[in-house]
Structure 1
Amino acid sequence: MSEERTSRPEWADDGKMFATSYVKGNDRAHLAKENRSIKRKERSVEEYVAGVLNHDRTILAQAITLIESNAAKHTEKAQRILHELLPYVGRSIRIGITGVPGAGKSTFIEAFGQFLCEKGHRVAVLAVDPSSSITGGSILGDKTRMEHLARHPRAFIRPSPSGGTLGGVHRKTRETMLLCEAAGYDIILVETVGVGQSEVAVRGMVDFFLLLALTGAGDELQGMKKGMMELVDAIVINKADGDNKKKAEVAKEEYNQILHYLRHATKGWETKAYTCSSLYGEGIEQIWEVIEKFVQTTKQSGVFEERRREQMKDWLHAMIKDYLHNRFFHHPIVQQQLPAIEEDVMAGKQPVTMAAEQLIRLYEER
């Protein structure tokens, strides 16, 4: 077995590291040893806060790992860190990016992110990867797909597993976004898994929501995108290059005709379609100009801040639901009685509504 290790990018600096793609042969044992060493080093809340505010990407990555942990001791420390950093958050533009598989999300984000970095912005990419509902595993490959952006000193990429639930997107991504803002990243790009309801969750945490579309997609994909149109603030027909350029222009006009009759996602803003080529960087600057105009328009009208306040309220309600859900199913009486009640329901011996009421009464009478 080879002991060779390929060069590791600058961003592979977190104790949790998604670096197995960069490790060969028996070197995995060495990596595991490194990870154990990092885990043994306990930072204080003050060290985390100071590191994040000083733009230390290693400490930022470790703070995000703490946020993502479900261990009680980590959760408590993570919330203390967030509390200390609250005065430094909320100063970024939050952009959600979605699209069907094959639309070129990663290629677009890399081209767009590099463009923004070259303009002097600091860009954080939160790429939410789908987790298997069977194994819980996740691909977490966005750092390898955005290799050039990942190496840029003004960029930070954090792939995170969704955990197979919307709660994973809703809670962890929000808190990670706040940490990145405190670390001085003024543009936050949130890439969705692109598989349905996760887009609704991401719409509820970003300022501007962008849908990447393709020309020549099948009827099923087109139908899914029509259901998305009232959620997004812009539609971008990607891969508008070569023989596909004319088709992209036709698709843009078709989308604009449809959008004219739909309710727009943001009050006072008209959603329109545009074209771009992520491969050649064409149309990227225009898209940024659209986003800048959106921010200016919505801030002048007060819609921008109103949306932020509503999102915080929705987050509070989501956290309460999440807390009550976890507390209910971890209650010892519920855990004891649930299997038998489930069996009765599946066997048709008891209606679902009656079974739910029975479990709730057991929980309330604890």
Structure 2
Amino acid sequence: MPHAAPLPALDALVDGVRNGHRATLARAITLVESRKPAHRALAGDLLQALLPSQAAGIRVGITGVPGVGKSTTIDSLGGHLIAQGHRVAVLAVDPSSSRTGGSILGDKTRMGRLALEERAFIRPSPAAGTLGGVAARTRETMLLCEAAGYDVVLVETVGVGQSETAVADMTDTFLVLMLPGAGDELQGIKKGIIELADIVAVNKADGANLTRAKVAASEYRAALHVLGGREPFWSTPVLTYSGLTGEGIAAVWDEVLRHRAASEAAGALAARRRAQQVRWMWTLFDERVREKLRAAPSLRAQLPAIEHAVAAGELSPTLGASKIAALFGWPDF
């Protein structure tokens, strides 16, 4: 049998990440994504060692309907930020990647300009099938990027369903991209996603679409007036811009900075970061409990029978959960 590759030295990883070495950062992220116990232990030590190096970067979540132009927007926004002297990391949350292959793997080519920038770092999400697992590793990747000197982290949602909520929960500002010609259905965007938005931006506001984009922006402003925002100190603005030409991109970023300033002034930013840290811990704990249950042969052998009994209506979900907990030695669960 081939010997396992030796683990990298902790000190070398810490120094490499702190010095912004891209290859070391990529290796550190791969370590964080690994499920091997030895890798996890080293990753835990690495993240702990880098805690003092994690700057208060700007974390922006970005979502939008299919075809809205997320990649083009990120490419344009990233270029604008780099021109201002920022270092930009682009991450993705894609819980569907193990089933469909996702789309972020192609985004590195669609973000043509940004992918060539030395001050930019683009990383797809790991191909894990659960939202909690993907989100947890994206959070840790975000912390590594900040420790490596990337002061702006753009987190893109690629999947559907709860991925938008997860990204809104791990970032400071949530940007929802929309298309011209909203229509009565609001393009299929759920009311809950609009309620999560800190900023709404209508893309493709150029050429023949300019008038339609302005009309759509007016419709969203009216909708937001009824729905209200998610924070008492902030009224969600609606802007128009063109990811293709870059027109309006600077104004979108100005709103991100304005939201950050308002959050800091209200004490909300620091409170959100503290709450996020605790939620991240419990997300990782929940994920590892599930893995332990499914990996242990003595436990795994009994799970199919419990699941079958619950599915057949022979056992209530409540008792089913209690039986699973008993397998861990938790009789009073």
TM-score of the superposed pair, with normalisation by structure 2: 0.91
Q: Is the 8 A contact 1:131 1:161 kept in 2?
A: no
Q: Does 1:56 align with 2:17?
A: no
Matched, 1:131 2:131: no
1:186 aligns with 2:132: no
1:141 aligned counterpart, secondary structure:
helix
Deviations 1:111-154 (A, max 9, x none): 000000011000011123453554x7445222111121011111
Q: 5 Å matches for 1:1-366?
A: 40=5, 42-132=7-97, 134=99, 137-139=101-103, 140-216=105-181, 222-364=187-329
C-alpha displacement of 1:248? 0.3
Distance 1:329 1:42, change over 3 A: closer
Per-residue CA deviation, residues 182-229 of structure 1 (Å, 9 max, x unaligned), is 011100000011412011111111000000011235765634243211
Query: 3-state DSSP class of the match of 1:195?
Result: coil
Cα drift, residue 296 of structure 1: 1.5
1:254/1:193 CA distance change after superposition, 3 Å? same
Give the distance between the partners of 1:245 and 1:181, measured in 2 at CA. 37
Instruction: Assess, with a 3 A threshold, how the Cα gap between structure 1 residues 64 and 240 changes in structure 2: closer, same or farther.
Output: same
The 8 Å contact of residues 230 and 263 in structure 1, kept in 2 or not, is answered as yes
Deviation at 1:356, TM superposition (A): 2.9
Counterparts in 2 of 1:351 and 1:216: CA distance versus 1, 3 Å:
same
Deviation track 1:12-46 (CA, whole Å, cap 9, x = no partner) reads xxxxxxxxxxxxxxxxxxxxxxxx9xx94742111
Task: Assess, with a 3 A threshold, how the Cα gap between structure 1 residues 166 and 92 changes in structure 2: closer, same or farther.
Answer: same
Distance change in 2, residues 1:352/1:302 (3 Å): closer
- Secondary structure in 2 matching 1:61: helix
How many percent identity over aligned positions? 50
CA RMSD of aligned residues (A): 2.2
Kindly indicate whether the alpha-carbon contact (under 8 Å) linking 1:169 and 1:201 is maintained by their aligned counterparts in 2: no
Report the residue type matching 1:259 in the other structure: L
Change (3 A) 1:288 1:362: closer
**What's the CA shift string for 1:26-76, capped at 9, x where partnerless?**
xxxxxxxxxx9xx94742111111111111111111111111111111111
Moved more, 104-113 or 315-324: 315-324
Q: What amino acid is the match of 2:18?
A: L
Looking at both structures, which has the greater relative contact order when contacts are Cα pairs under 8 Å and sequence separation is at least 6?
A: 2
- In structure 2, relative to structure 1, the CA distance for the partners of 1:347 and 1:260 (3 Å cut) is closer
Q: Structure 1 residues 298 and 216, CA, compared in 2 at 3 Å: closer, same or farther? A: same
- How much does 1:300 deviate? 1.7
Give the distance between the partners of 2:23 and 2:138, measured in 1 at CA: 18
Residue-by-residue CA offset, 1:275-330 (whole Å, 9 max, x unaligned):
00010000001011111111112112211111111111222222232233333333
| Counterpart residue type for residue 174 of structure 1 | R
Q: Deviations over 1:226-274 (max 9, x none)?
A: 3211111000000111111100001101111111122312330110211
In 2, Cα distance between equivalents of 1:168 and 1:162: 10
Q: SS of the residue aligned with 1:163? A: coil
In the superposition, the TM-score normalised over structure 1's length comes to: 0.83
AA in 2 matched with 1:270: S
- Count of residue correspondences: 328
For structure 1, the 5+ residue unaligned runs are 1-35
Q: Distance in 1 between matches of 2:316 and 2:152?
A: 50
Contact 2:136/2:284 (8 A) holds in 1:
yes
